[in-house]
Amino acid sequence: MRQVFCFILVFLIGCVPVDDKISKEDAQNQIYFSADFKAKKCGTSIPQPPLIVFTDQLQRNLDLCTIAITRMDCPFDGYPIICLGIYSPEAVPTIPWYFNFKELTKTKIKF
């Protein structure tokens, strides 16, 4: 009985939700550095106005945005539409298998 109790306790401790939020300052830095990388690779400047992070970000939304920025084709003259996820309080839904992530980077946000 004692072993069962210990197993259940360990299982419950392992099921504690992980805080997958990134501070707004760290999120802003990640977006800036991915945009800076892409701008240098394309020989352009970072599109203006830059994406501004207003709140702490879900790791998934931030990752999708920064990966999409670095995988965009040149010229770097706008941000991928998937970056709108940083303005959503909810996680971006799973991308269906039939969508090509590279295709999602071709639709750009231009201000």
10 pLDDT higher than 60: no
- CA–CA gap between residue 51 and residue 78 (Å, rounded): 10
Query: Is residue 4 very low, low, confident or very high in pLDDT (cuts 50, 70, 90)?
Result: low
% of residues, the chain, pLDDT over 70? 72
CA distance 9 to 64: 35
For 50-61, how does the pLDDT look when each residue is reduced to its tens digit (9 = 90+)?
999 999 999 999
Beta strand 21-22 with 108-109 is unpaired
Whether 5 has a pLDDT exceeding 70, the answer reads: no
Instruction: Using the predicted structure, report yes or no on whether residue 16 has a pLDDT greater than 60.
Output: no
